[in-house]
Amino acid sequence: MTCGGADIGMAMAKDERVGLLSFTGSTHVGKQVAMMVQERFGRQLLELGGNNAIIVFEDADLSLVVPSAVFASVGTAGQRCTTTRRLMLHESIHDEVVERIAKAYKQIRIGDPWDPNTLYGPLHTKQAVQQYLAAIEQAKQQGGTLVCGGKIMDRPGNYVEPTIITGLPHNASIVHTETFVPILYVLKFKTEEEAFSWNNEVKQGLSSSIFTKDMGRVFRWLGPKGSDCGIVNVNIPTSGAEIGGAFGGEKHTGGGRESGSDSWKQYMRRSTCTINYSKDLPLAQGIKFE
């Protein structure tokens, strides 16, 4: 393990002895890494940002939806690449789900992340706290309504309140920005086409999920006109089930795949091998070697 700052990462990206560079981090830094590695014709595996959505239809089982949305949005204090950042609710169930999730937020066990009973710990830096406050302010300016949270907690460490914001348009710039903090943007939709389109319109394409009992809708979601993400879930949240799968995403998420069925394709070199076990060499056409 090598610890350090950007100087260490840059040295690894530029070093031709590194055959494959696997990078996990922001899209901004990932672009720089990709260009440095490509410049020397090296190989890269990028696992970058995620602006993940859960879509909840009118026929969904809300006893699954509520704990799923809560776990995926506040687990690891929103500092997980598969964290749910957008919750899209059908207009017929929007108010009920928001009310139930807000009630659950008030019961979240907050404390020392080393304690196994803790669900929600601190942010990793003071800078993250400032990003949290800035995102909330932008959301308000763009038409969002604060349902709960939105403040720094009065306790030692970088603790902030888990936050829910409603009322924003699906294409608001803050909704399209991955802020690595526990803010959940709740959007209201009317049709399946609308929801699928909103899921795909962000630049990132890591994880996605729908909750429904309609099998036709499930196959449309899994098909070419459904989710454009690398992880496409049904009736489970965007995080928590990806361990062991071919983990990674599309678009600004980088396109790489770690672990699971695709990992050998990324980490190994593939060679085409031809073995001639005869005494003939049937290669040249029209040439006699005498």
For residues 67 and 108, give the distance between their C-alpha atoms in angstroms, rounded to a whole number: 11
Token look-up 């530029």 returns 14
The answer to whether 100 touches 60, Cβ cutoff 8 Å, is no
DSSP the chain: ----SHHHHHHHHH-TT-SEEEEES-HHHHHHHHHHHHHTT-EEEEE----EEEEE-TTS-HHHHHHHHHHHHHGGGG-STT-EEEEEEETTTHHHHHHHHHHHHTT--BS-TTSTT-SB---S-HHHHHHHHHHHHHHHHTT-EEEE--SB-SSSSS-B--EEEE---TT-TTTTS--SSSEEEEEEE-SHHHHHHHHHTSSEESEEEEE-S-HHHHHHHHSTTS--SSEEEESS-SSSS-TTS-B--EETT-S--BSGGGHHHHHS---------SS--TT-SS----
Catalytic residue set: 47, 81
The dihedral region occupied by 89, where left means phi > 0, alpha psi between -120 and 50, and beta the remainder, is: beta
Q: Are strands 52-56 and 43-47 parallel, antiparallel or unpaired?
A: unpaired
Phi, psi of 240, rounded to the nearest 5 degrees: 110, -25
